[in-house]
Amino acid sequence: MKTIATRIGVILAMILLGIFLFISGKEHAVFIENKGEKYTPKNAYYILDGKKEVKIKKKKKKREYVKGVNHTIEVRFKDADGIEKKVVKEFKTKMGKKITINAAMIENDSWMKIEELKSKK
């Protein structure tokens, strides 16, 4: 009886560890665009999860890959008055969801767009 319980315990622990690894190691695509409603900076710069700074030109869109659930994005750009701004935001990724971050609207509430991921047939 004790042996069976131990074996079941080991199997359950392995399944739980597997689920944890699946969630924390899953790669997600995140889209970053530089396209504001009223104002779009000429160039915006972003740092995703503390990695290398990337430049994104006006009205352009870039695809980045991130690992796991919790992420941070740091965006740097010049606003309409020519003042340098630096904004840091946190966001979460979910399976089956497409995330688009708008660097130009990073200060607004609608800085992130979450959509259902369409499967290609």
Partner 1 sequence: MENKGKKFLINNIVPIVILIMIVMAAPISGLSGGYLVQEMISRLSRNSFLVLSLIIPVVAGMGLNFGIVLGAMAGQLGLIFITDWRIVGMEGIMLAVLISLPIAVLLGILGGYILNKAKGREMITSIIMGFFINGVYQLIVLYGMGNIIPMTNKKIILSRGYGIRNAIDLKNIRQVLDKSMVVKVGEFTIPLLTILIIGGLCLFIVWFRKTKLGQDMRAIGQDMEIAKSAGIAVEKTRVLSIVISTVLASIGQIIFLQNIGTMNTYNSHEQIGMFSIAAILIGGATAAKASIPNALGGIILFHLMFVISPRAGKELVGSAQIGEFFRVFISYGVIALALVLHQWRREQENKAERKRMMEIQLSGGEK
Interacting residues toward partner 1 by CB under 8 A: 14, 17-18, 21-22, 24-27, 65, 67-68, 120
Give 10 or 88: the residue with its C-beta nearer to partner 1: 10
| Least spacing, CB of residue 119 vs partner 1, in Å | 8
What gap in Å lies between CA 103 and CA 46, rounded to an integer?
Answer: 8
Give 24 or 72: the residue with its C-beta nearer to partner 1: 24
Give 38 or 65: the residue with its C-beta nearer to partner 1: 65
* Separation in Å, CA 115 to CA 50, 51, 57, 102: 25, 25, 24, 14
| Least spacing, CB of residue 71 vs partner 1, in Å | 14
| Least spacing, CB of residue 18 vs partner 1, in Å | 5
CB 71 within 8 A of CB 90: yes
Give 14 or 114: the residue with its C-beta nearer to partner 1: 14
φ, ψ for residue 49, nearest 5 deg: 50, 40
φ, ψ for residue 22, nearest 5 deg: -60, -45
